[in-house]
């Protein structure tokens, strides 16, 4: 779940701070609640059944249902890959590397790494780099007045509502549901109480990290322009000196690769599981979904604008997988005594509906 604070989420948090300083802190902390309840349901399914969502829906529902869930998962994957590649393009741009070099090179390294299956040790390295990155960013914050002027601020301004939806999309990404259930199913000795404790811890830490990145943005000038590489570098340097833009770029690349290689691969498994295909086919699904991620950033020249747009789109892509998780988690034939009911059932549906509502009002 800490890895869910990926490059796209980081950029969303920083832009939220630039645009509205600390006025969105309350909303980021509030998102701990839906993050916990939605991810808890996915993890509980994996702990009780010992199966990932794709495999479970194929066995308990019709083939039509399998196809219905595979399509939004594939769409979510593509949207997520595009967001990560756009962030990588922005990060390499800080080092002066143009898109026509950075994105194809990233694609080759990315796919080669997955093909070799050596991503476990890479995950550890990337987590280490991300941890150093967080420390560097934290040391660069040094922002005056960390409390918002209004503890619970809301505005009908379209840009404010759009950022609400973007942060909601960043908090519960569809592929995380599949990763959570599959990873929990694979973990020996998983229990429902253990899943809940780990998920709560992950939800709190994830959103505190998002608040930290919002604080970084709040320390920048109100007119800071993160939509261009030169603007982003200048804004970062204004907070932490000449070194911060490069530290930020390295951390952003690490966070993006962590999402690309580790988490998103789990959702490719979810697609083949739902379709009843051999696990080995996941690689080709993964490659096919990744190709648009190399092309689209060239067609859409503003990386941050593309990332924010995709974060809002993920809110709507979440609807299908979210409904599936909610119905499976409350099915007593599947979950037995651990089926959602009463408080847990109500909390799940209220949280999922709240996330979707954020996306709807952003379109109005």
Domain of residue 81: give its range: 2-363
Whether the predicted pLDDT of 81 surpasses 70: yes
Categorize the per-residue pLDDT at 132 as very low, low, confident or very high, splitting at 50, 70 and 90.
low
- Per DSSP, the residues of 130-152 read HHHHHHHHHHHH--S--S-SSSS
For residue 137, what pLDDT is reported?
Answer: 62
Cβ-contact 77, 267 below 8 angstroms: yes
Q: How many domains does the chain have?
A: 1
Is the pLDDT at 146 greater than 60? The verdict is no
* pLDDT over 90, % of the chain: 32
Residue 91's pLDDT is what? 92
Q: How confident is the model at residue 200 (pLDDT cuts 50, 70, 90)?
A: very high
- Residue 3 or residue 355, greater confidence: 355
- Nearest Cα to Cα of residue 287 among 169, 50, 31, 111: 111
- The rounded mean pLDDT for the chain is 84
Q: What is the pLDDT of residue 357?
A: 93
What is residue 71's predicted lDDT score, i.e. its pLDDT? Answer: 76
Cut 0.95: pTM above it: no
Look at residue 47 in the predicted model and tell me its pLDDT. Answer: 92
pLDDT tens-digit readout, 287-339 = 888 899 899 998 887 888 888 998 999 899 889 889 989 999 999 999 999 99
Structure tokens at 231: 């603007």
Sign of the alpha-carbon torsion through 26, 258, 140, 162 = negative
Tell me the pLDDT tens digit for each residue of 265-285. 666 777 777 777 777 777 888
Model confidence at 356, in pLDDT bands (50, 70, 90)?
Answer: very high
CATH of residue 355:
1.20.1740.10
Weakest-pLDDT range from 11-20, 71-80, 95-104, 121-130: 121-130
Mean pLDDT of 213-223: 84
Q: Is 149 exposed, middle or buried (0-12, 13-18, 19+ CB in 10 A)?
A: exposed
- Name the burial class of residue 242, with classes exposed (0-12), middle (13-18) and buried (19+) by CB atoms within 10 angstroms of its CB: exposed
Distance of CA 177 to the CA centre of its chain: 11
As a whole number of angstroms, the distance between CA 334 and CA 152 comes to 41
């Amino acid at each position: 779940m800490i890895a869910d604070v990926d490059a796209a989420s980081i950029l969303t948090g920083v832009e939220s701070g630039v645009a509205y300083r600390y006025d969105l802190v309350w909303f980021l902390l509030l998102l701990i609640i839906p993050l916990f309840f939605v991810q808890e349901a996915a993890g509980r399914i994996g702990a009780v059944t010992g199966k990932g969502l794709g495999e479970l829906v194929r066995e308990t529902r019709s083939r039509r249902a399998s196809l219905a869930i595979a399509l939004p998962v594939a769409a979510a994957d593509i949207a997520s890959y595009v967001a990560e590649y756009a962030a990588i393009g922005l990060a390499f741009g800080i080092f002066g590397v143009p898109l026509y070099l950075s994105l194809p090179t990233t694609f080759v390294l990315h796919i080669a790494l997955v093909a070799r299956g050596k991503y476990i040790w890479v995950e550890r390295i990337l987590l280490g780099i991300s941890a150093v990155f967080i420390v560097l960013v934290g040391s660069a914050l040094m922002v005056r007045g960390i409390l918002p002027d209004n503890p619970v601020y809301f505005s009908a301004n379209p840009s404010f509502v759009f950022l609400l939806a973007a942060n909601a999309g960043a908090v519960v990404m569809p592929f995380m549901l599949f990763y959570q259930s599959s990873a929990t199913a694979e973990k020996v000795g998983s229990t429902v109480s253990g899943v809940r404790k780990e998920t709560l811890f992950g939800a709190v830490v994830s959103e505190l990290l998002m608040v930290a990145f919002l604080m970084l943005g709040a320390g920048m000038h109100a007119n800071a322009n993160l939509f261009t590489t030169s603007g982003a570098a200048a804004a970062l340097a204004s907070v932490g000196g000449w070194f911060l833009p490069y530290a930020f770029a390295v951390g952003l690349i690490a966070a993006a690769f962590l999402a690309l290689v580790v988490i998103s691969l789990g959702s490719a498994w979810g697609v083949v599981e739902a379709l009843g295909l051999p696990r080995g086919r996941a690689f080709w699904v993964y490659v096919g979904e990744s190709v648009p991620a190399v092309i689209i950033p060239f067609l859409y020249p503003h990386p941050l604008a593309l990332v924010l747009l995709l974060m809002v789109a993920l809110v709507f892509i979440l609807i299908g997988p979210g409904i599936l998780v909610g119905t499976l988690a409350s099915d007593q034939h599947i979950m037995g005594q651990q089926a959602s009911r009463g408080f847990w059932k109500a909390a799940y549906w209220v949280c999922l509906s709240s996330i979707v509502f954020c996306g709807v009002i952003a379109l109005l």
